Amino acid sequence: MKIVKFGGSSLACGETFQRVKEIVTADPTRTIVVVSAPGKRHSSDNKVTDLLYVCHAHLRYKVSFDDIWDDIASRYREIAATCGLSNNIEKYLDEVRAGMTRSASVDDIVSRGEYLNAILMAEYLGYEFVDAARWLHFDYDGSVDYEKTYESLRELHATYPRMVLPGFYGTLPDGRLHVFSRGGSDVTGALAAAALSAESYENWTDVSGIMMADPKIVENPKIISRITFSEMRELSYMGAEVLHQETVFPVRQANIPLYIKNTKAPDDPGTLIMETFEDENDEERTRFITGITGKKHYSIITISKTSMTDDISFVRRVLEITEKYNLTVEHIPSSVDSFSLVIATKALSNCLHALIADIQAECNPDSIRVCDGISLVAVVGRRMAGAPGVSGKIFATLGERGINIRMVEQGSDEINIIVGVQDADFTTTIQTLYNSFT
């Protein structure tokens, strides 16, 4: 059995619903379908979830939201009409509308986008609609109660072998609804896949897989055919927009292959994500790199002290101060008499002066220098491990292009090499590396 999750762009209107039905019915093992709320039909359109957040803001300030609601309702009416659904959509719309005015929480309101879409999709496919409130359980801190969630879905599956599940939300222990952060239907799909030990989890979207680089930076980047979970974690942490961050954990733990597929081009192979790959395909044999990504706007704080290495508590004392300010230190490059903290500039905006004053007072360094405007660019690839020459190629390529590298870091599992460059060189760095490795 396969879990298939469709994102908002695949469910934006009646026409895309029809495409989804073709995909689901083309494979009889696609028995569990997870849906997002309707997304954008074109670039200037609105996502239904965004409109629901706006409804909540209107309600909060007691401003009429009739126009926005009409917009939302018309989206579902169009889907029902185009797909010829007999279901009484007006009844569900009235119920949701009435629920919104009865002191509903923001999570109650924004979850309705998925709820209504799942009701329509269930009727369209002839599958059972199973409300996420019946099986996806959160703890009060917002973390998923895996055991309870998996058990509940297994029980429901025993009664309903073909289900449509709304993504994005579940319930807290007291029965109130709770939503994941944005894009959370990806996580719902992963939880369903893990609960039911699915053969695979197919995540259907509007691109034919994960791209080797950001298409806003590199023209027409190649699609990655196969990527490991670790590589994907590196790419998404370093800025690539792939799947919701939490998607990986449930499927990875259960060792379920995850596919990214394109609803508009269902025959494209897409990207396969797994824990490991035993072999290499032709493309992988010729290329060490899986992807290139990066993030802008970092600061490097360099702390110097002569004979720093003799003072064995020095680094710890500095890090205790960054901890006090709740700062994530991304990298700590070091030399004999100095080391640097690489921290997002935004995170330092309210505390930089206090942080420096504390380090000065408590650690007594010789100097502290701050350099802003740094970008971190990551080259990621599992095949770099043990392959000589990859870092040499990165440095040579950037050197030839006249790009100055401010910082270098390689994780010891050798699946990533990160370089720090000036923000002004960010785009050129990614383009140059992409061109030299493809």
Report the alpha-carbon distance of residue 429 to residue 421 in Å, rounded: 8
What residues numbered 127-146 form the site for ligand ASP, per CB under 6 A?
none
Choices 124-132, 176-184, 193-201, 302-310; region in contact with ligand ASP by CB under 6 A:
176-184
- Of the listed pieces 14-22, 69-77, 145-153, 178-186, which binds ligand ASP according to CB under 6 A? 178-186
Q: How many whole angstroms separate alpha carbon 150 and alpha carbon 197?
A: 10
Which range of residues in 177-185, 217-225, 260-268, 402-410 is near ligand ASP by CB under 6 A?
177-185
Q: Which of 6, 17, 168, 434 binds ligand ASP (CB under 6 A)?
A: 168
Q: Is residue 16 a contact residue for ligand ASP (CB under 6 A)?
A: no
DSSP 72-130: HHHHHHHHHHHTT--S-HHHHHHHHHHHHHTT--HHHHHTHHHHHHHHHHHHHHTPEE-
| Per-residue tokens: 295 | 């993030």
Least distance from ligand ASP to the Cβ atom of residue 193, Å: 15
Of the pair 113, 250, the CB lying nearest ligand ASP is at 113
Q: How far is the CB of 198 from ligand ASP (least distance, A)?
A: 19
Beta strands at 258-262 and 200-205: parallel, antiparallel or unpaired:
parallel
| Contact of 348 with 355, CB cutoff 8 Å | yes
| By CB under 6 A, residue 37 contacts ligand ASP | yes
For ligand ASP, give the closer residue by CB, 6 or 65. 6
Q: Does 365 interact with ligand ASP (rule: CB under 6 A)?
A: no
Q: Position of tokens 């360099």?
A: 302
CB contact at 8 A, 96 and 77: no
Shortest distance in whole angstroms from residue 39 CB to ligand ASP: 7
State yes or no: residue 47 binds ligand ASP (CB under 6 A). Answer: yes
User: Looking only at residues 195 through 224 of this chain, which bind ligand ASP when binding is defined by CB under 6 A?
Assistant: none
In angstroms, the CA 263 to CA 16 distance is: 8
Q: How far apart are CA 287 and CA 380, in angstroms?
A: 12
239: left (phi over 0), alpha (psi -120 to 50) or beta: left
Among 9, 36, 228, 263, binds ligand ASP (CB under 6 A): 36
- Site residues for ligand ASP per CB under 6 A: 8, 36-37, 47, 49, 113, 167-168, 182-186
